Amino acid sequence: MYTWNPGEYERHSSAQKKWGGELIGKLSLSGDEKVLDIGCGDGALTVTIASRLPRGEVTGIDLSGEMIAHARFSYPASEFPNCHFIAIDAREMIFESEFDLAFSNAALHWIPEQGQLLERVFRVLKPGGRILFQMGGYGNAADFFGIVRDIVREYSWKPFFGGFSPPWRFCSDREYLSLLEAAGFIPLRVGLIRVDMVHKNRPELEGWVRTTWIPFLERLPACKQEEFIGEVVDRYLAFHPPDREGRTHVRMVRLEVEALKEKAGGNLKFPG
Please write the tens of the pLDDT for every residue from 38-79.
Answer: 999 999 999 999 999 999 999 999 999 999 999 999 999 999
- Please tell us whether the domain made up of 6-139+165-197+253-266 is placed in CATH 3.90.180.10: no
Q: Which residues on adjacent β-strands are paired with residue 59?
A: 36, 84
Q: Is the pLDDT of residue 272 over 90?
A: no
Q: What is the mean pLDDT of residues 127-143?
A: 97
Q: What is the mean pLDDT of residues 233-262?
A: 97
Per the CB < 8 A criterion, the answer to whether 74 and 137 are in contact is no
Please write the tens of the pLDDT for every residue from 171-213.
Answer: 999 999 999 999 999 999 999 999 999 999 999 999 999 999 9
Q: Is the pLDDT of residue 271 over 90?
A: no
Q: CA 53, CA 127: separation in Å to the nearest integer?
A: 20
Give 269's pLDDT tier (boundaries 50, 70, 90).
Answer: very low
Q: What is the mean pLDDT of residues 134-143?
A: 97
DSSP tag of 154: S
What is this structure's pTM?
0.92
With CA atoms as reference, report the closest residue to 36 among 124, 128, 136.
124
Q: Is the pLDDT of residue 15 over 90?
A: no
User: Which string of DSSP letters, residue by residue, matches 85-122?
Assistant: EEE--GGG----S-EEEEEEES-GGG-S-HHHHHHHHH
For the chain, domain boundaries:
6-139+165-197+253-266
Cβ-based neighbour number of residue 51 at 10 Å: 12
pLDDT of residue 225: 97
